[in-house]
Every structure is written in C-alpha cells, then in structure tokens.
Structure 1
Amino acid sequence: MKKYIAYLLLVFLGTTFISCDDPIDVELTEAPPRLVIEASLDWEKGTAGNNQTVKLSTSTPFFDNNSDTSVLGASVKVTNNDTNAEFIFTDQNDGTYTTNSFVPLLNNSYTLEVVYNGEVYNATETLMPITGINEVFQSFEGGFDEDLLDVNITYDDPQELGNYYMIRLQEVGDLFPIIETRSDEFTNGNVQDEFFEKDEDDDNPDNQFDPGDSVNIKLFGISERYYNFITLLIEQYDSAGNPFATTPAEIRGNCINVTNEDNYAFGYFRVTEFDQVDYTFQ
C-alpha cells in the first residue's frame, strides 16, 4: 500500500512539473504604430551648441521583433519664436535629422515642427539656463551607508523661485545612467549638494563605487513641464516589480499632432543648457 501511494505521489509531482512547461499564450491588444520624437537640444555650457540631432522612429507592438523602426523622409524644423530664426534639420536616412547651424539663446522660446505622413506635429519649449557645477568630491558621509563610497556635486540655485534640474550620472562601463530630478521649491537661492551612492544589490555584492571607477555627471536646467514629465517616468521605472505600486499609465510628452489630435506622438522636445564633469574615485 505504501509503495502504491508513493507511486501515485511521483506521478502527481511529475505531471505537475511537466505542466509548468506548457506555453501560455497571452493576448495583448495591439495599438497602431505612433511617431516617436526624441528631440533633446542640449547645449553644453561654454560651447557653441550648433550641432544638434533629432531622432524619429515608430512605436512597435510588445512582441514585435522588428528592430528597425527608423522614420525616413520627414521634414524637421526648429524656430526661435523670439528672433524668428529657422533651423532646418537634414534627413540622414537612418532616422536621425541633424543641423550644424543651431543658435542657442538662453530664455528664448523654440518650436519644433515635424511633418510626417502628411501630418504636422508641434512642440514648444524654453531654453533653460544652468549656473554650472561648483564642486565634485567623494565621501563616505553623505550617503545612506557610511561604509560605501558616494560622489557629491554642488551647484548654486538662483534667487528666482521656480528652477528645475535634471541630474544624469553614468559610470564608465554601465549600460544605463542614473537619472534624478530636483526642484528648488524648498531650497530656493541656496547652494545645492547632491550625492549619488549605488544601491545595495543582493545578487551583486560588488555593486558599489570603488577607487578607480569613473563616472560622468551632467547637470541640466529644465522647464517645469519637462520636470513633471521625466519625474513621472522615473517613478514608473523605479516602481517596476513592486506589487503595491500603482498601475503604470501612458505618459504623454509635449508633442502635439495639430493635424489629427487623436494620432498623437510619443516623446518630448526639450531645449536645455547643461554642465558636465568626469570624476574618478580615489
């Protein structure tokens, strides 16, 4: 009798493990492809800023393996609304559109116009200034764990209320950067001190900054609208895998289809000044 029960148990367990290998088909609703506009006109402090690139592509269904979604044959133009100067971006036949004649002027308003498939997309942004990075240093004291190295930057916030920042840090060799946003709502007119420390990773105990590691840090001056946009994206990314997080929602940028508002585009048109520094841990 015991042998018979043991045999039934083995059959049950074997059937259970085999059934776990069965493929599961997931039916997903496929949306029509939309234009994706990546237009970040970033002017590095102290440079001419004349070389700029806009990238156009199309969205794809979740399970689509088509890796080439480049948009060719579009018309791309940026206009300075304060001076009426126009900058035409040339199609490079690979999804990128470039110009070497852009003129960045602080606090000027710029409008992007993209014409694609007979429809016109517009977006407007103001070129936000940045005071620049004052100091970069390492320490064990600024972070959450006093046993881990962190890197700090300081910068001055102007007295005018309503300044917004994006900080982008990428370690040499890493595929993805760390991106954070800041507002001066409660720190207006003060020297800002920001620190970056790698989060603990149980799967990778070596996930920390060590002497000899090099990082690139960029500080951007951004508009309030872009601050809200990128902050929502960061929050959704950071909450991935969290069972208690709110359901991700579609986040739209500032690119509007003026021909057919229902056929809106993804992406964002930003115009910023930024400062950057490379730092190697000692």
Structure 2
Amino acid sequence: MSKNWIYLVFFFLLGCIDPFPVEVPEGEQLLTVEGLIHSGPGPHIIQLSRSATYGSDLQSLIRPVVGATVIVRSDDGEVTFLGEREGVRGAYFTPEGWRAQIGKAYTLYIETPEGTLYSSFPERVESVPEIQSLGIRTVVVPQPGGGPERSGVQIIADINDPADQNNFYFWRLGAANYILETRPDLYTTPAPERNPAPKDCCVVCYRTDIPNNRSLFIAVDDDFNGLSTRIPVGFVEDDGLRFVNKYRVDVNQYSISQDAFRFLRLVKQQAEISGSIFDPPPANIRGNMISLDNPDEVVLGYFMAAGEASKRIYVDQAELTFKQNRAIIPDDCRVVPNATIDPPFDWNPNE
C-alpha cells in the first residue's frame, strides 16, 4: 500500500459525531460509502461512489470508485480484504464464507486509487432475535391530482423482543422471486410489419426480483422492550406483474448500533419530507466515515455492522385486497430479463 495503515490508529482518538445534513460547494464530488456486514451468510458488500451534492446540476451523476483497497478490521485484530468482481463496478465483496461475529466491533478502512485514506468509526455486532412469523397488508397510496392509485404489499413481522438489552432494529428485503405470466399468443413481428405471430412458448416463468429498499423500516424497542410485537418491516410495490400469481421474498432483520439507528432515522425523516414510500431521500446526510487526510472533507453514507436474522414469506395474489391492472407482456416469458422456466431449487410455497 502507498501509505502506512498504522496511521489509522489516530482515528481511535476521535469522538463519535451525530449525523447531520451538510452543506458543501456546489458540484463537489463526494465520496459515498454504503455497506453492511452482518452475522448472516455473505457475500457482504461495500459500495463506493462519487456523487454531487443534493441540489447540484450534477446530482444524478454517480461515478463508481474502482481500484480502491477496502479492508474490514475487527477489534481483536482480524483483517479481511474485500475484492472487486468483474462487471460490478464500485462494489467490494467479502471472501466466500466470511461472516461478522456477534460481540465483535468492526472498522472499515478505505484507500482510494489516488491514495486518500478513509476510516469508519467502530461498529459493534449485536445479537438479534428471530422473526417469529410474517404476514402482509395491502397498502394503497392515492396520487396527487387524482391519478391512478399506486399500491403494494406491506410485510408485517412478529418478534419477541429481548428484555435484557436495548435493541435498535433495521429491516431490509433480500432475495425475491415471483411467478411471471406473459402472453406469447399476442406476439407480433417487429415494426414496421407488426404482423400477428403467436409463439408456442412460454406463458409461465420464474423471475428474480431485486427489491429497491427505498423505504426505510427501523425501530427502537423503547415501547416494547421485553414484549412481543407486530411491526411493518418491508414494502413491495405492485407493478402489475409481481402479484399476478405468487411472490416470494426474504426479510432480513438486523440489530444495529444506536449511532447507525440515528443515521437511518435522519434519512427516513428526510425522505418523509417529500412524502411517500415511493420517494427517494431528498438530501445528503453525513454518516460515520471520515477522511484521515482531511478531517474537514465531507464523506457520505454509513458503514454498519449487525446481527442478522432472516425469514421467508410467500405472497399469493388472492391475499391482496387491492390489485393493480395486470401488465401485459406480449411475448415468450423467457425473453424477459432475469426470467427462466425453471423454478428456484428451493421454491416451496407450502413451507
């Protein structure tokens, strides 16, 4: 490495800071760090990018940071290098089989290709209770001006909160699959001919879905410490395809630090200013990363470490009390991205 990592010891002399909205010069490209390591299966991913500040004309320009050195170090001295993968720019992955350990604290270190050093504050991995069960509730969101209503499925979890600790929860949707139904009988040849040319196959496929996780679901157990509770933990929008048949998604429950919870709560409050579960956060928020070369530099994002519990739910279209009009794809379902006629090896709606 171009710099001595012992220099990072200076970091531990710094006190923790609360996240806060920041103001920086217009158009400045800020390093953004997004990452979560946890006690569940990996790989665990740290994403690095450069983006302009909120309100800038270049706000939508996001540049992945490639060629960086990314390290996670535990408080007992274990050092883990994260590596890049071909075709995934700006993402750094933990080695196969690696997991964070309950009770350990972890620090993220980054050296950019330019040689600038960054570090997170230590994040301790706390134990997390299991998810007892999952259910759903249909949510309908009226649109301004009387436009078509948007809707989706809110996922509700039952948990037994432990009484011997103060828990800060964060929920995120993981892997998802659903039965995709298309209309190959309606296929027509491409323009300009547009002649009817129905296909023999295939109506039904299984499609992999990547939840966008824009809606933040967090909670602190101040009101239910030591009790059983039911709480919303995720949302999946109905796009006219996902809930035509069956939809499957994994719900990941994390026990995060108090500082991580404060950061996410601030992000959530910012998002709610502009109004709905479909809207992205409207402003940049500083997290727990710092530049060791220039402590005044603004670094965005947050590095989290957490205990993880996961549970899977299958949603049948008959369970929804409001459904979007069915979207029509006039083609073989196999031409749809991330779709195949073979079900996932562990597809089991009756489990």
Report the TM-score when normalising by structure 2.
0.57
Distance 1:253 1:223 in 2: 13
Question: CA distance change for structure 1 residues 249 and 58 in 2, over 3 Å: closer, same or farther?
Answer: closer
Q: What pairs with 1:55-134 in structure 2 (closer than 5 Å)?
A: 55-60=47-52, 62-64=56-58, 69-81=63-75, 83-92=76-85, 94-100=89-95, 102-116=98-112, 117-123=114-120, 124-134=122-132
Unmatched segments (≥5 aa) in structure 1: 1-28, 243-247
* 1:1-282 alignment, distance < 5 Å: 30-44=26-40, 47=41, 49=42, 51-60=43-52, 62-64=56-58, 69-81=63-75, 83-92=76-85, 94-100=89-95, 102-116=98-112, 117-123=114-120, 124-138=122-136, 151-169=155-173, 176-177=212-213, 178-195=215-232, 212-240=246-274, 250-282=284-316
Equivalent position amino acid for 1:76 in 2: V
SS of residue in 2 equivalent to 1:113: strand
> What letter corresponds to residue 192 of structure 1 in structure 2?
T
Mapped partners of 1:149, 1:56: distance in 2: 31
SS of corresponding position for 1:168: strand
Indicate conservation of the 8 Å contact 2:134/2:156, yes or no. yes
Distance in 2 (CA, whole Å) between partners of 1:79 and 1:174 is 30
* SS of equivalent residue, structure 1 residue 234: helix
Question: How far apart, CA to CA, are the structure 1 residues paired with 2:39 and 2:309?
Answer: 9
8 A Cα contact 2:39 2:102, kept in partner: no
Q: Are the structure 2 counterparts of residues 131 and 264 from structure 1 closer, same or farther at C-alpha, using a change threshold of 3 Å?
A: same
CA shift, 1:157, in A, is 1.1
- Distance across 2 between alignment mates of 1:269 and 1:181: 16
Partner secondary structure for residue 133 of structure 2? strand
| SS of residue matched to 2:263 | helix
Structure 2 counterpart of 1:84, one-letter code: G
Structure-2 separation of matches of 1:265 and 1:40: 17
Q: Does the aligned pair in 2 maintain the 1:149–1:210 contact within 8 Å?
A: no
Shift of 1:249: 5.7
Aligned-pair CA distance for 1:262 = 1.7
Runs of at least 5 residues in structure 2 that lack an aligned partner in the other structure: 1-24, 141-151, 178-208, 277-281, 317-351
TM-score under structure 1 length normalisation: 0.70
Deviates more, 1:168-177 or 1:267-276: 168-177
CA-to-aligned-CA distance 1:75-124 (integer Å, 9 cap, x gap): 1111111x211111224472222231634210211111111223211112
Look up the SS of the partner of 1:239 in the other structure: helix
Task: Look up the equivalent residue of 2:298 and give its one-letter code.
Answer: Y
Name the amino acid aligned to 2:129.
T
Shift of 1:278: 2.5
Tell me: CA distance 1:165–1:122, structure 2 relative to 1, closer, same or farther (3 Å): same
* Counterpart secondary structure, 1:281: strand
Question: Rg: which structure is higher?
Answer: 1
Aligned position for 1:12: none
Letter in 2 for 1:274: E
SS at match of 1:158: coil
